[in-house]
Amino acid sequence: MHIIPAIDIIEGNAVRLTQGRYDSKKIYASDPLDLAKQFEAHNLKYLHLVDLDGAKGKGIVNLKTLERLAANTKLIIDFGGGIKKSEDLQAAFDSGASKVTVGSIAVKDPDLVFSWLETYGPDRLILGADAKDGMIQSAGWLEASDKEVGAFIDFYHKKGMKQVVCTDIAKDGMLAGPSTDLYKRLLSAQPDIQLIASGGIACLDDLYGLKDAGLYAAIVGKAIYEGRISLEELSAFTEV
């Protein structure tokens, strides 16, 4: 199972939210590049970079941060937040993103996302399936939809989407354990998707539980910043 450390950006700062609430913002670093270099120094190869300003706005806001991190590290970056149109997607790729996560736009304009799948292929796109009480949320988790998470994933999987990052919003930032049972159900329905867990991870046992459940990867954020899991431990986990 791959380990993907996370950096969420608001106004250029690396922050974490709790359950997606912007009023819960806590700043952990004023220079995200310092964090990214720490991840790289501990042999972590991936980075989940989220533009939270863009996620609730009308387009990408923190593109310069993506450019800096991509230019100054060798991390494989998946980028999300603010992808509203084809120009945004291309800008993210041009700025160094290896993959782009599409969440809100996948809820609101599936035909556009289907066209991106045809243009870029499924290896460069990740479906963002962020759910609260089993229902997909969008716009930085500020808007509810009428789409059930399993059906949403199935819909896109049938169109060729291979990778899915699923966040249980109720778990995000709570350090109370991930939604392993939810992930098991999703994998039972779609065993060949590459499912990426996000939200709630607090300790190494959580990661081993996700690995045993068959997760493709796990995104780790607040547990790193709050000292619950060290970078040394994550580095060792990736070598097991």
> Which candidate in 8, 78, 88, 172 is catalytic?
8
The structural domains of the chain, ordered by start, are 2-239 (3.20.20.70)
pLDDT averaged over the chain?
95
Instruction: Please name the residue ranges forming H helices in 57-178.
Output: 63-72, 86-94, 104-108, 110-120, 149-157
Q: Is 8 annotated as catalytic?
A: yes
Distances (CA, A) of 216 to 133, 208, 210, 212, 234: 23, 12, 9, 10, 16
The reported pLDDT for the residue numbered 107 is 94
Of the given ranges (57-61, 87-91, 139-143), which has the lowest mean pLDDT? 139-143
Q: Calculate mean pLDDT across residues 5-16.
A: 94
**pLDDT tops 90 at residue 7:** yes
The alpha carbon of residue 48 and the mean position of all alpha carbons in its chain are separated, in whole angstroms, by: 5
> What residues contact 32, with CB distance under 8 A and at least 6 apart?
7, 9, 12, 13, 14, 49, 65, 68, 69
Task: Say if CB 24 and CB 221 are below 8 A apart.
Answer: no
User: What share of the chain in percent tops pLDDT 90?
Assistant: 86
The reported pLDDT for the residue numbered 135 is 94
The reported pLDDT for the residue numbered 16 is 87
Q: pLDDT band at 139, cuts 50/70/90?
A: confident
User: What share of the chain in percent tops pLDDT 70?
Assistant: 100
- Taking only Cα atoms into account, the Rg of the chain, rounded to an integer number of angstroms, comes to 16
Q: pLDDT band at 124, cuts 50/70/90?
A: very high
Q: Calculate mean pLDDT across residues 11-18.
A: 91
Q: Calculate mean pLDDT across residues 10-19.
A: 90
Distance CA 47, CA 45 (A): 7
**pLDDT tops 90 at residue 140:** no
Query: What per-residue string of b and e applies to 153-189 under the rule 16 or more CB within 10 Å gives b?
Result: beebbeeebbbbbbbbbebbbbbeebbbebbbebbee
Distance CA 18, CA 174 (A): 6
The reported pLDDT for the residue numbered 142 is 76
Q: Calculate mean pLDDT across residues 152-168.
A: 96
Distance CA 173, CA 223 (A): 8
72 compared with 133, residue with greater pLDDT: 72
> Which candidate in 51, 130, 168, 206 is catalytic?
130
The pTM of the full predicted model, rounded to 2 decimals, is: 0.94
Q: pLDDT band at 151, cuts 50/70/90?
A: very high
The reported pLDDT for the residue numbered 20 is 79
Q: Which DSSP helix (H) or strand (E) runs through 236?
A: helix 231-239
